[in-house]
Amino acid sequence: MVGHPRWTVTQKINQWTRYLVLYPRLGFLFVPFLTYSAEPLPVVLSGEVVFAACMVCHSTQEMQRGPILDGMPAWYLLAQMKKFNTGIRGTMEDNKGESLMAPVAQQYHDPSDLREVAAKFEKRPVARHLRTVRGNPQRGKLLYATCASCHGVEGRGKKSIQSPPLAFLEDWYLMDQLRKFQLGRRGYDPRDTTGKLMQNIAKIYTINDLRDIVAYLASLNPSQERQAIIPSDNFSEPKGAVAEQTGSGL
């Protein structure tokens, strides 16, 4: 005990006051620090920023890109994003279009951002499309009667039965997706009931039937007054392009 100061009662009380009062108080200073370090840093991404990221592939700028989604209803876009997010769509290996889209859907999944982005797409006027699929629209019109029961006579879709508009989509993308349904490369997940339904329908048709239907759908595009209308018998393939070559290559 030599050399140890003998604390007075007052000193002891002071010491305990330090432990009981002062240190816990100081501890509060660390609370915000601890909470922040325990959680990942909050990333503030507004819908605007996310939308710009989507437009890298969903605008008319790129060659290797996804479909133009301008004018597509928000309910459909959100439903498909959910499929990509939950692996109902986008998990098949060697599926070119899907393998571009799936990682993006994993990255952007904030529901309020996606709602904002979907609303932005819906508000945009349907784009002017290039035609790349050769087909007979008169024959296509007759074949389309079956599709019309779900996608509407004008190809504007029916939300009540989750059928998207077809008249707003580019012909290469329609052909691409119909071929995917036909070959079991979309709608393959057991949870994908609407995809499975479309698979069963697409399998009834030949490739030429589908080309004719797609050629007819191009004539229902509301932006057609802004595009060169090419009569079917005058249709010539764009220079150097083979029909469907502009597609995602399945």
Binding site for ligand HEC (CB under 6 A): 50, 53-54, 56-58, 66-67, 77, 80-81, 97-98, 100-101, 104, 108, 117, 146-147, 149-151, 162-164, 166, 169, 174, 177-178, 194-195, 197-198, 201, 205, 213, 248
CA separation, residue 43 to residues 38, 48, 49, 110 (Å): 15, 14, 12, 11
Cβ of residue 41: shortest distance to ligand HEC, in angstroms? 21
**Residue (128 or 141) nearer to ligand HEC, CB:** 141
- Counting DSSP H helices and E strands in the chain, the numbers are 10, 0
**Residue (108 or 135) nearer to ligand HEC, CB:** 108
The span from the CA of 128 to the CA of 226, in Å, is 6
The span from the CA of 83 to the CA of 89, in Å, is 5
Contacts of 199 (CB under 8 A, 6+ apart): 181, 182, 184, 186, 187
**Residue (198 or 234) nearer to ligand HEC, CB:** 198
**Residue (169 or 220) nearer to ligand HEC, CB:** 169
Cβ of residue 158: shortest distance to ligand HEC, in angstroms? 8
Cβ of residue 190: shortest distance to ligand HEC, in angstroms? 14
Q: How many CB atoms lie within 10 A of CB 85?
A: 17
**Residue (152 or 230) nearer to ligand HEC, CB:** 152
Cβ of residue 37: shortest distance to ligand HEC, in angstroms? 29
Cβ of residue 110: shortest distance to ligand HEC, in angstroms? 10
The span from the CA of 114 to the CA of 80, in Å, is 11
- The residue of the chain with the least Cβ separation from ligand HEC equals 97
The answer to whether the beta carbons of residues 125 and 226 sit under 8 Å apart is: no
**Residue (36 or 48) nearer to ligand HEC, CB:** 48
The span from the CA of 235 to the CA of 211, in Å, is 13
Cβ of residue 65: shortest distance to ligand HEC, in angstroms? 6
Which has the closest alpha carbon to 179: 139, 239, 133? 133
